[in-house]
């Protein structure tokens, strides 16, 4: 499907996703689990890309969802998700969110603190329901990734320190409206080596075995997400190697395995299409100014992340080194810094690669720009799956105050 065609019909900036790639990523991840007849649930971490059409595609592929808010629960249910394949993570669950999840009969809550456990008990008791829970355990493993996306070290806000986990499990057992069903961990994101996962698994496995010895019925072992993808020259383990390695080491536990992959499913299934507006050269530097930026793809500036840039219609010429920047009034508004860019002229289309995960889902209205449109491609067809915001969308819900005396 030529991106030129989509650009002409939908305009830029625009996120474009491939349904074939999304399906393939899901299948590749799942293949060793199916082949080894391992009981498992893949709960796609929808924070990576929670657009309804993407969720719908994954529901059809058989996916469940890892959610982190009532808003994500709403989206998952809208997309027809099976609530028995929904796990609910996140450190700040609100009473009304817990209530909604209990009403939906989700598979389990991944509890992130002793306080949260007490709150879930209270909410469940008031509703006369029993809440199935796993404790998210923090195994103190350095995932060797960007600090903003490292979650499994003791200094992080996530999970319950593995040294305290047993006591919290004991407390959970004593609560009338809580049922302990699992153990969960998630150590970070964009992890490009197998070792941190294996180190975390070794610790978690010991805990599961100890709990089982003490009579806890641990039915689910949730290994979280975090498998990295190639943005540039990274060589992360293949999804099949990753799942295979976990299957081999957990066979004796008699648990259903849960995985929460986000990026590895969606990241390399999408691009952000943009149009060159200006070429600018000052005495120090060259800039290519495009019609998208940190408001639509914040990863480069927030994590110093690399997103590859490709010309949609390559020109003759060696290209040049420049910053690829957006229109936002911040020096941090860049998509690529000191990058060797392809030869471009005003009006050319560029594709920001690997933008399917944590792209649109982190987009904002900053500087009062509309958020981009989203398009899904299937074979030789494409469909608009989200309209570009209108100016009316941008101000929807805003009011002028009516104060006495004005
Ligand atoms: N499960 C939990 C509990 C998580 O917190 C996350 C991601 C995932 C699963 C999925 O991780 P993945 O498979 O996508 O690595 N905005 C950042 C990434 C933040 C990840 C947050 N948690 C980025 O653009 O790099």
Query: Does the C-beta of 44 come closer than 6 Å to ligand 1?
Result: no
What does the CA dihedral 183, 186, 192, 194 come to, rounded to 10 degrees? -20
pLDDT at 147: 79
> What whole-number percentage of the chain has pLDDT above 90?
95
Per-residue pLDDT averaged across 129-158, rounded? 87
Per-residue pLDDT averaged across 387-403, rounded? 96
pLDDT at 208: 97
> From ligand 1's centre to the CA of 225, what distance in Å?
7
Residue 72 sits at the vertex; the CA angle it makes with 119 and 172, to the nearest 5 degrees, is 25
Per-residue pLDDT averaged across 229-234, rounded? 97
- Mutating to test ligand 1, I would choose from 63, 87, 189, 234 the residue with most ligand atoms within 8 A of its C-beta, which is 189
Query: Does the C-beta of 224 come closer than 6 Å to ligand 1?
Result: yes
pLDDT at 184: 98
Please state which of the ranges 82-96, 135-149, 248-262, 284-298 shows the lowest mean pLDDT.
Answer: 135-149
pLDDT at 258: 98
pLDDT grade for 247, boundaries at 50, 70 and 90: very high
Per DSSP, the three-state class of 97 is: helix
The DSSP string of 112-124 is -SHHHHHHHHHHH
pLDDT grade for 193, boundaries at 50, 70 and 90: very high
* DSSP conformational letter for 252: G
Per-residue pLDDT averaged across 205-212, rounded? 97
> From ligand 1's centre to the CA of 188, what distance in Å?
7
pLDDT in tens, 310-362: 999 999 999 999 999 999 999 999 999 999 999 999 999 999 999 999 999 99
Query: Does the C-beta of 334 come closer than 6 Å to ligand 1?
Result: no
- Mutating to test ligand 1, I would choose from 262, 299, 300 the residue with most ligand atoms within 8 A of its C-beta, which is 262
Helix (H) or strand (E) holding 102: helix 95-104
Q: Which atom of ligand 1 is nearest to the CA of 228?
A: 15
Q: Which atom of ligand 1 is nearest to the CA of 68?
A: 3
Q: Is 255 a catalytic residue?
A: no
* pLDDT surpassing 90 at residue 52: yes
- Mutating to test ligand 1, I would choose from 146, 193, 225, 272 the residue with most ligand atoms within 8 A of its C-beta, which is 225
> From ligand 1's centre to the CA of 306, what distance in Å?
17
Q: Which atom of ligand 1 is nearest to the CA of 90?
A: 3
Residue 305 CB neighbours (<10 A): 18
Query: Does the C-beta of 263 come closer than 6 Å to ligand 1?
Result: yes
* pLDDT surpassing 80 at residue 154: no
pLDDT in tens, 72-95: 999 999 999 999 999 999 999 999
* pLDDT surpassing 90 at residue 143: no
Measured distance CA(182)–CA(133) in Å, rounded: 6
pLDDT at 1: 94
Question: Rounded to the nearest 5°, which phi and psi values hold at 402?
Answer: -115, 90
C-beta separation of 296 from 371 below 8 A = yes
> From ligand 1's centre to the CA of 48, what distance in Å?
7
User: Mean of the per-residue pLDDT values for the chain?
Assistant: 96
Per DSSP, the three-state class of 135 is: strand
Query: Does the C-beta of 25 come closer than 6 Å to ligand 1?
Result: no
Specify the pTM: 0.97
pLDDT at 396: 96
pLDDT at 126: 98
């Amino acid at each position: 499907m030529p991106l030129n065609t989509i650009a002409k019909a939908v305009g830029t900036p625009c996120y474009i996703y491939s349904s074939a790639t999304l399906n393939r990523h899901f299948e590749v991840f799942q293949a060793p689990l199916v082949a080894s007849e391992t009981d498992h649930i893949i709960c796609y971490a929808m924070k990576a890309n929670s657009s309804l059409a993407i969720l719908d595609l994954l529901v059809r592929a058989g996916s469940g969802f890892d959610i982190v808010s009532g808003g994500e629960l709403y989206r998952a249910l809208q997309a027809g998700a099976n609530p028995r394949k929904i796990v609910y993570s996140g450190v700040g669950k609100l009473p009304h969110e817990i209530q909604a999840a209990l009403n939906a009969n989700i598979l389990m809550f991944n509890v992130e603190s002793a306080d949260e456990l007490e709150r879930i008990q209270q909410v469940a008791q008031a509703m006369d329901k029993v809440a199935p829970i796993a404790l998210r355990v923090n195994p103190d493993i350095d995932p060797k990734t960007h600090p903003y996306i490292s979650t499994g070290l003791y200094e992080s806000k996530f999970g319950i320190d593995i040294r305290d986990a047993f006591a919290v499990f004991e407390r959970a057992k004593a609560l009338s409206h809580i049922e302990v069903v699992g153990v969960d961990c998630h150590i970070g994101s964009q992890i490009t080596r197998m070792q941190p996962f294996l180190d975390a698994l070794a610790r978690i496995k010991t805990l599961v075995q100890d709990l089982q010895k003490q009579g806890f019925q641990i039915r689910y072992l949730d290994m979280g997400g975090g498998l990295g993808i190639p943005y540039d020259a990274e060589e992360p383990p293949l999804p099949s190697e990753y799942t295979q390695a976990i299957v081999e080491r957990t066979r004796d536990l008699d648990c259903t395995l849960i995985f929460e992959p986000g990026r590895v499913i969606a990241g390399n299934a999408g691009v952000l299409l943009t149009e060159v507006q200006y070429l600018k050269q000052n005495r120090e530097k060259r800039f290519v100014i495009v019609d998208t930026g940190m408001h639509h793809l914040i990863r480069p500036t927030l994590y110093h992340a690399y997103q590859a840039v490709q010309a949609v219609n390559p020109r003759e010429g060696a290209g040049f080194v420049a910053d690829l920047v957006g229109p936002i009034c911040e020096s941090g508004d860049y998509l690529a810094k000191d990058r060797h860019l392809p030869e471009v002229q005003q009006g050319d289309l560029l594709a920001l690669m690997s933008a399917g995960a944590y792209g649109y889902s982190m987009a904002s209205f900053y500087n009062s720009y509309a958020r981009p449109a989203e398009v899904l491609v299937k074979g030789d067809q494409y469909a608009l799956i989200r309209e570009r915001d209108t100016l009316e969308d941008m101000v929807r819900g805003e009011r002028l105050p009516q104060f006495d005396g004005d």
